[in-house]
């Protein structure tokens, strides 16, 4: 346990949440996996925040891995009670908004959201989010690239980029958790969806996506109340609830921060 980092995390959490369970690790396999095991075995209860300096088995969405080398990023997971009557889409929306708000609070940057919850700065992905349900709880895992690894990001990291700002990782983790916990107190607050829509610039653009093994393209028309991506394709209007969309690299660079 790294006490100095834990103190800096609590600084970011602020008075309202400073007494939640916090632990800062050096290396671990995956902060999401750790919280899942500890919660299942009754070692911890929500709310609980875990951070790590690096992960040996960082997990991404859609079964991918998440590159998590030491000295470059912030890897954190928050175990929280699932608010009643809340669906996964709302958690996704509020998590993306919480990270944007924390980065905006601590830097001069204004991250853009690529549906569903990838955060981009300067046309590069700087943050990924993996939310996983666990009984009545949810584990919200967040990886933020603070600076590029020596030698650059590996090929498998795709469009990865970094915030590249002089920023304290543990304090940012606390600040993100503060925004998450505050959002979870009232996930139906219309201001959260409005904040998501304002930062999600895909509307009006053509995206590609895969459905039943087929690649299709459609124009994005909006974000639904439950966080789905509303599109207009050859079969008329539809709402995507999960998966991923891609768009041309020029457009991506132009609209994503």
Q: State the alpha helices, DSSP H only, in 113-225.
A: 169-185, 190-199
**Nearest alpha-carbon partner for 194 in 232, 230, 223, 231:** 223
CA separation for the pair 77, 24 (Å, rounded): 11
Residue with tokens 């109340």: 225
Of 25 and 232, nearer to ligand BTN (C-beta) is 25
**Nearest alpha-carbon partner for 158 in 230, 222, 64:** 64
Least Cβ distance, residue 51 to ligand BTN (angstroms): 9
Of 10 and 114, nearer to ligand BTN (C-beta) is 114
Tell which one of 23, 32, 92, 137 touches ligand BTN (CB under 6 A): 32
Asked if 66 touches ligand BTN (CB under 6 A), the answer is yes
Residues 200, 143, 227, 236, CA torsion sign: positive
Least Cβ distance, residue 85 to ligand BTN (angstroms): 26
Of 156 and 225, nearer to ligand BTN (C-beta) is 156
Phi and psi at residue 71, in whole multiples of 5°? 75, 10
Of 75 and 209, nearer to ligand BTN (C-beta) is 75
Asked if 134 touches ligand BTN (CB under 6 A), the answer is no
Q: Quick one: tokens of 205?
A: 């653009």
Residues within the interface to ligand BTN (CB under 6 A): 30-32, 55, 58-61, 64, 66, 75-77, 118, 128-130, 141-143
């Amino acid at each position: 346990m790294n006490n100095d980092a834990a103190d800096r995390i609590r600084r970011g959490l602020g008075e309202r949440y400073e007494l939640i369970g916090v632990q800062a690790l050096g290396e671990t396999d995956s902060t999401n996996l750790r919280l899942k095991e500890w919660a299942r075995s009754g070692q911890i209860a929500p709310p609980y925040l875990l951070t790590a300096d690096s992960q040996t088995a960082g997990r991404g969405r859609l079964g991918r891995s998440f590159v998590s080398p030491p000295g470059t990023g912030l890897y954190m997971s928050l175990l929280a009670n699932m608010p009643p009557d809340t669906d996964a889409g709302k958690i996704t929306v509020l998590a993306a908004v919480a990270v944007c708000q924390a980065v905006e609070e601590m830097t001069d940057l204004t991250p853009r959201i690529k549906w569903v919850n990838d955060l981009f700065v300067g046309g590069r992905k700087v943050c990924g989010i993996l939310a996983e349900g666990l009984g009545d709880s949810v584990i919200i895992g967040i990886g933020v690239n603070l600076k590029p690894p020596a030698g650059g990001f590996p090929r498998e990291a795709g469009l990865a980029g970094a915030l590249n700002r002089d920023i304290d990782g543990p304090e940012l983790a606390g600040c993100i958790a503060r925004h998450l916990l505050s959002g979870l107190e009232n996930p139906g607050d219309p201001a959260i969806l409005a904040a998501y829509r304002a930062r999600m610039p895909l509307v009006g653009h053509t995206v590609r996506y895969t459905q039943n093994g087929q690649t299709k393209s459609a124009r994005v028309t909006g974000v639904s109340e439950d966080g789905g991506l509303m599109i207009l394709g050859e079969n008329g209007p539809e709402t995507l609830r999960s998966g991923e969309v891609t768009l041309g690299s020029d457009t991506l660079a132009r609209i994503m921060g």
